[in-house]
């Protein structure tokens, strides 16, 4: 093997994989650090599973991303795999609702999706960060095309029911004005020698230069009305062409008004590791990933299989299941080993003979309540009337979020937006409503921000995760205390059973948590099997 650059078609990842194979994990981590690579992702390609004993079988419970990644890799390594899935489709929470789909929630309410052809709504995950390498690699392998997901849109709104009389503010104005005032205040403190104890004179000079640029301050280090500030916050009349084209500057908000509005609390989401650029969405809906896995694994997934008991002995694991559509008759599936990816909210209700520590872990973690609501409108008024292309409007109304589609920009015709993404108490309250009532409320709240809602709304879908039959909750809501006590116990292989899923990760709610936890489990089980076979 030669160094980087001499092997022209070898990626750094290939190189690391080879180092990992030949010299083990420690050498790989050293090499990763040398290549400046370690900070990107813990994922370093799929595990190299060599020497699978002939005929060894693994039973996998759940055809969500964790279960399908496990099945994909184990089958590739030569194992016999079988997957039981409760739903009639692959993906689990990787799920896109489109026109013609039907969804029945716990309690029996059925929604028939009436979205126009080509429009969709993702009730579950909807964005993929650039550093979720495991998921991105499977998208590449499975041929799932991606497009950018717009998280921060400077022209979307920040809205507070009590802020600025309830009038939505553009993100760009609050962002520019908060930053400008902060820069002005710190520049003033610097020039009044108040930083002398903490910052050297040379650094103070650099700090002042940087604050002027960064905060859009004027020559006197003031954040004031003028071309510089308008070029951040927007103009009263923007520049154009021809005779009457001269721009008219806007006037910044006062510091007090910005602070008092509390809208600054919405300025940081796009700064965080998980929501920084570049984010992605699969073209056509997040469900495209699960659907692609499902096609790949068609031969080994049994749908409509509701697991009712899991029993291991010293030779293998048996799952008892029944037909989810016609319950009553019990069937059995068996494997030498079992990877169980059922959400803990479901698994905690299913008899399974594992040790006390894993059982305690399974029972310990509550699941988050969230509600997502997709709304179809006659036209993309947010683009046509308000120049909002993708991104998120944040509000302190119960709907919390309005997210505009990050696809088919500038097109004519109808559009579906995310009309609510509710958390906590708001989510519980909406969960208690009928789907129709959730949608009516979302339209009513949203029309406080977009008056066009009332005339343009057509139909919607509302998914309350605590009423979703296959998860009864959105994701494992670990606290630090729970994690300290239970996480290791949850992730240990118990006899012939191991768990995988976002709940068995430090990435709760993220698909990458499901993918990397599955890869971790697959590697550890494989090692046990190979060790056992050669013993």
Residue 495 interacts with its own copies (CB under 8 A): yes or no: no
- 406-425 footprint of its own copies as x/- string (CB under 8 A): x--xxxx-------------
DSSP code at position 467: G
Q: How far is residue 26's CA from residue 88's CA, in Å, rounded to a whole number?
A: 43
Q: How far is CA 320 from the centre of its chain?
A: 32
Q: Which of 56, 175, 376, 426 binds its own copies (CB under 8 A)?
A: 175
Residue 177 interacts with its own copies (CB under 8 A): yes or no: no
The CB-of-345 to its own copies minimum distance in angstroms stands at 18
Q: How far is residue 346's CA from residue 360's CA, in Å, rounded to a whole number?
A: 14
Output b/e per residue, 213-231; b: 16+ Cβ within 10 A.
eebbbbeebbbbebebbbe
Q: How far is residue 509's CA from residue 273's CA, in Å, rounded to a whole number?
A: 15
Residue 445 interacts with its own copies (CB under 8 A): yes or no: no
Stretch that binds its own copies, among 314-322, 333-341, 394-402, 512-520 (CB under 8 A): 512-520
Residue 396 interacts with its own copies (CB under 8 A): yes or no: no
Stretch that binds its own copies, among 72-80, 90-98, 106-114, 502-510 (CB under 8 A): 502-510
Q: Which of 2, 108, 219, 243 binds its own copies (CB under 8 A)?
A: 243
Residue 276 interacts with its own copies (CB under 8 A): yes or no: yes
Nearer to its own copies, 277 or 330 (CB): 277
Could you give the C-alpha distances from 80 to 49, 57, 351, 424, in angstroms and in order?
14, 4, 25, 42
Residue 131 interacts with its own copies (CB under 8 A): yes or no: yes
Q: Which of 26, 268, 328, 481 binds its own copies (CB under 8 A)?
A: 268
The CB-of-128 to its own copies minimum distance in angstroms stands at 10
Q: How far is residue 260's CA from residue 439's CA, in Å, rounded to a whole number?
A: 31
> Residue 423 forms beta bridges with which residues?
370
Could you give the C-alpha distances from 132 to 146, 148, 286, 392, in angstroms and in order?
13, 14, 14, 21
Nearer to its own copies, 416 or 521 (CB): 521
Is the Cβ–Cβ distance between 148 and 278 less than 8 Å?
yes
Stretch that binds its own copies, among 55-63, 218-226, 227-235, 342-350 (CB under 8 A): 227-235
Residue 5 interacts with its own copies (CB under 8 A): yes or no: yes
Stretch that binds its own copies, among 119-127, 171-179, 342-350, 527-535 (CB under 8 A): 171-179
Could you give the C-alpha distances from 122 to 75, 111, 282, in angstroms and in order?
29, 15, 11
Q: How far is residue 507's CA from residue 519's CA, in Å, rounded to a whole number?
A: 14
The CB-of-154 to its own copies minimum distance in angstroms stands at 4
Nearer to its own copies, 96 or 452 (CB): 452
17-36 residues in contact with its own copies (CB under 8 A) are 35
Q: Which of 30, 104, 200, 479 binds its own copies (CB under 8 A)?
A: 200
Nearer to its own copies, 231 or 357 (CB): 231
317-346 residues in contact with its own copies (CB under 8 A) are none
Q: Which of 272, 330, 349, 527 binds its own copies (CB under 8 A)?
A: 272
One DSSP character per residue, 4-49 reads: BTTBTT--HHHHHHHHHHHH-HHHHHHHHHHTT-TTT-S--SS---
Three-state secondary-structure class, residue 421: strand
Is the Cβ–Cβ distance between 79 and 52 less than 8 Å?
yes
Q: Of all helices (H) and strands (E), which one includes residue 491?
A: helix 480-491
Nearer to its own copies, 432 or 444 (CB): 444
**Burial of 18 (C-beta count, 10 Å sphere; 0-12/13-18/19+):** middle
137-156 residues in contact with its own copies (CB under 8 A) are 139-140, 145-148, 150, 152-155
Residue 280 interacts with its own copies (CB under 8 A): yes or no: yes
Could you give the C-alpha distances from 524 to 22, 316, 527, in angstroms and in order?
18, 17, 5
Nearer to its own copies, 366 or 451 (CB): 451
Q: Which of 45, 78, 99, 199 binds its own copies (CB under 8 A)?
A: 199
Residue 357 interacts with its own copies (CB under 8 A): yes or no: no
Stretch that binds its own copies, among 307-315, 339-347, 420-428, 447-455 (CB under 8 A): 447-455
Q: Are strands 57-61 and 337-340 parallel, antiparallel or unpaired?
A: parallel
32-61 residues in contact with its own copies (CB under 8 A) are 35, 37-43
Nearer to its own copies, 23 or 189 (CB): 189
The CB-of-324 to its own copies minimum distance in angstroms stands at 27
Q: Which of 456, 460, 473, 525 binds its own copies (CB under 8 A)?
A: 456
Q: Which of 34, 112, 191, 237 binds its own copies (CB under 8 A)?
A: 237
Q: Which of 452, 476, 478, 526 binds its own copies (CB under 8 A)?
A: 452
Q: Which of 381, 430, 475, 478 binds its own copies (CB under 8 A)?
A: 381
Q: What are phi and psi of 80, to 5 degrees?
A: -90, 120
Stretch that binds its own copies, among 241-249, 299-307, 319-327, 395-403 (CB under 8 A): 241-249
Q: Which of 301, 386, 421, 496 binds its own copies (CB under 8 A)?
A: 386
Residue 481 interacts with its own copies (CB under 8 A): yes or no: no
Could you give the C-alpha distances from 86 to 60, 243, 327, 340, in angstroms and in order?
12, 67, 12, 13
> Residue 377 forms beta bridges with which residues?
415, 457
Q: How far is CA 461 from the centre of its chain?
A: 20
């Amino acid at each position: 093997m030669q160094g980087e650059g001499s092997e022209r078609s070898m990626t750094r990842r290939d190189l690391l994989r080879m180092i990992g194979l030949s010299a083990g994990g420690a050498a790989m981590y050293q090499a990763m650090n040398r290549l400046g690579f370690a900070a990107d992702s813990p994922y370093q390609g799929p595990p190299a599973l060599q020497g699978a004993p002939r005929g060894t079988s693994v039973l996998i419970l759940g055809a969500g991303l964790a279960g399908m990644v496990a099945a994909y890799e184990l089958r590739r390594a030569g194992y016999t795999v079988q997957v039981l899935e409760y739903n009639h489709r692959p993906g689990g929470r990787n799920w896109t609702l489109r026109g013609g789909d039907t969804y029945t929630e716990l309690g029996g309410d059925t929604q028939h999706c009436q979205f126009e052809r080509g429009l969709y709504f993702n009730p579950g995950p909807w964005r993929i960060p650039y550093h979720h390498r495991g998921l991105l690699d499977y998208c590449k392998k499975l041929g799932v095309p991606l497009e950018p997901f717009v998280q921060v849109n400077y022209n979307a709104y920040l809205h507070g029911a009590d802020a600025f009389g309830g009038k939505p503010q553009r993100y760009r104005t609050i962002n520019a004005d908060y930053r400008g005032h902060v820069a002005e205040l710190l520049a003033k403190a610097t020039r009044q020698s108040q930083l002398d104890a903490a910052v050297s004179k040379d650094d103070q000079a650099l700090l002042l230069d940087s604050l002027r640029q960064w905060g859009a301050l004027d020559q006197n280090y003031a954040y004031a009305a003028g071309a510089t500030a308008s070029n951040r916050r927007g103009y009263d009349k923007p520049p154009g062409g021809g005779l009457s084209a001269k721009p008219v500057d806007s006037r910044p908000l006062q510091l007090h008004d910005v602070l008092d509005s509390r809208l600054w609390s919405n300025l940081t989401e796009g700064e965080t590791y998980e929501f920084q650029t570049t984010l992605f969405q699969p073209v056509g809906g997040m469900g495209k990933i699960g659907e692609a896995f499902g096609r790949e694994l068609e031969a080994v997934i049994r749908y409509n299989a509701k697991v009712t008991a899991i029993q291991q002995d010293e030779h293998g694991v048996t799952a008892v299941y029944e037909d989810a559509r016609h319950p009553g008759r019990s069937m059995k599936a068996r494997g030498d080993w079992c990877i169980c990816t059922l959400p803990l909210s479901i698994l905690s209700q299913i008899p399974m003979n594992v040790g006390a520590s894993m059982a305690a872990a399974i029972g310990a973690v509550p699941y988050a309540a969230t509600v997502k609501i997709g709304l179809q409108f006659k036209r993309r008024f947010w683009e046509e009337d308000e120049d909002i292309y993708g991104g998120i409007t944040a509000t302190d109304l119960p709907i919390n979020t309005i997210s505009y589609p990050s696809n088919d920009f500038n097109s004519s015709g109808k559009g579906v937006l995310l009309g609510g993404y509710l958390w906590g108490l708001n989510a519980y309250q909406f969960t208690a409503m009928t789907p129709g009532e959730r949608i009516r409320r979302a339209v009513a709240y949203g029309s406080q921000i977009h008056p066009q809602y009332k005339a343009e709304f057509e139909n919607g879908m509302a998914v309350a995760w605590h009423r979703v039959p296959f998860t009864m909750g959105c994701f494992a809501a670990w606290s630090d205390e729970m994690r300290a006590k239970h996480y290791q116990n949850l992730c240990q292989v118990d006899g012939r059973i191991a768990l995988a899923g976002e709940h068995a990760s430090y990435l709760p709610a993220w698909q990458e948590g499901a993918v990397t936890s599955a890869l971790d489990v697959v590697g550890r089980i494989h090692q046990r099997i190979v060790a056992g076979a050669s013993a």
